[in-house]
Amino acid sequence: MTHADASSTDPSAHPGRPAAADPRRTEGVHPDHADLDRLPLGELLDVLTGDQLGAVQAAQAAAPALARAAAAALPRLQRGGRLLYVGAGTSGRLCVLDATELTPTFSWPPERAVPLIAGGERAIRSAVEGAEDDRAAGERDVQTTRIGPDDVLIGVAASGTTPYVLGALRAARQAGALTVGLSNNPDTPLLREAECGVLLDTGPEIISGSTRLKAGTAQKIALNSFSSALMVQLGKVYGNLMVDLRASNEKLEGRALRLVMHATGAGEADARAALLGASGQVKVAVVALRLGVSAAEATRRLDAAHGHARAALGEA
């Protein structure tokens, strides 16, 4: 008898009745490695890391759907809209992470990246019992943000059935916002109800049911790729250089200096002086050095080019 057979007939799992089959692939028992707990440590790590390749493959397969979602989101953000992220548990924490990192990475205003997690901020570190099952709370939390037609809500749930996320999605659609749904199971309510459904089909987990593994990894890749693509399209990147970073510590100040030097070919002293004149703004320093203009003139040209360095440099 296989491990899967044993689990489906084990009377201790549901005393007095057989276990019900769950149609969600993320809840299925992985067909391989039924003796995972007996593997030597090195082999165990090989199995766990190797299974993560499924996350990469799922995200790659979802790239066309992510592209359609980004294309729909871009004009809303160009009009001043916000990104709202909604999730519960692991998915919610990944939402918080992606929203939070947009500010230091791309100088995206924090008020334009709003993460909502079932159970509130306490749920970032601790499980909040029953929070993900509260559909009404999801609706209320989204309504509290005063969501509007130019906003983009990204709902993330491995199961695709999380009531909190579905409630948030409903409120967003009622307000006219664009809705994007990321689910690791096909044909789920989240994918059906979102305007832009993105399937991350990772299948059963190597530790059955633990969607913090490759399901979560696929979500992280998808969120990273989606938000980064939007930032590139919004002019936050020149070539492949992160020219809109916020240098908030010594490490990032050094990175800003190296970026200016790389983009302009300037020496360290000139790059440092340009950054100082640009109040630490890499993009302004790059345009000023490349065109031989003042920081004020570089800023004016960037504003006229809607923040796109390539256009401000006449390279578009």
Give the pLDDT confidence of 145-180 residue by residue, as tens digits: 999 999 999 999 999 999 999 999 999 999 999 999
Q: Are strands 196-199 and 113-117 parallel, antiparallel or unpaired?
A: unpaired
Can you list the alpha helix ranges (DSSP code H) found in the chain?
A: 3-9, 41-51, 53-61, 63-78, 89-106, 135-144, 163-174, 189-193, 214-233, 250-264, 268-277, 282-291, 295-304, 309-312
132 assigned to active site: yes
- Name the average pLDDT for the chain: 91
User: What pLDDT was estimated at residue 209?
Assistant: 82
User: What pLDDT was estimated at residue 6?
Assistant: 35
User: What pLDDT was estimated at residue 180?
Assistant: 98
Reported as a pLDDT band with limits 50, 70 and 90, residue 16 is very low
129 assigned to active site: no
Give percent of the chain with pLDDT exceeding 90. 84
Burial class (CB in 10 A: 0-12, 13-18, 19+), 55: buried
Q: Distance between CA atoms of 171 and 179, rounded to whole angstroms?
A: 10
Collapsing DSSP to helix, strand or coil, 266 comes out as coil
33-62 pLDDT, tens digit per residue, is 889 999 999 999 999 999 999 999 999 999
Walk me through the domains of the chain, giving residue ranges and CATH numbers.
55-233 (3.40.50.10490), 250-312 (1.10.8.1080)
- Mean pLDDT of the 125-140 span: 92
Neighbour tally for 47: CB within 10 Å:
14
- Among 62, 113, 87, residue whose Cα is nearest residue 169: 87
- Mean pLDDT of the 64-86 span: 98
User: What pLDDT was estimated at residue 20?
Assistant: 62
Collapsing DSSP to helix, strand or coil, 136 comes out as helix
User: What pLDDT was estimated at residue 150?
Assistant: 98
pTM of the prediction? Answer: 0.89
229-274 pLDDT, tens digit per residue, is 999 999 999 999 999 987 778 898 999 999 999 999 999 999 999 9
Q: What are phi and psi of 85, to 5 degrees?
A: -110, 135
- Among 95, 160, 89, 144, residue whose Cα is nearest residue 118: 89
**pLDDT surpasses 70 at 2:** no
Q: Which of 27, 101, 195, 253 is catalytic?
A: 101
**pLDDT surpasses 80 at 27:** no
57-74 pLDDT, tens digit per residue, is 999 999 999 999 999 999
User: What pLDDT was estimated at residue 43?
Assistant: 96
**pLDDT surpasses 70 at 10:** no
Rounded to 5 degrees, what angle do the CA atoms 74, 135, 89 make? 75
User: What pLDDT was estimated at residue 279?
Assistant: 92
Reported as a pLDDT band with limits 50, 70 and 90, residue 128 is confident
**pLDDT surpasses 60 at 288:** yes
Q: Which of 43, 111, 121, 132 is catalytic?
A: 132
Reported as a pLDDT band with limits 50, 70 and 90, residue 19 is low
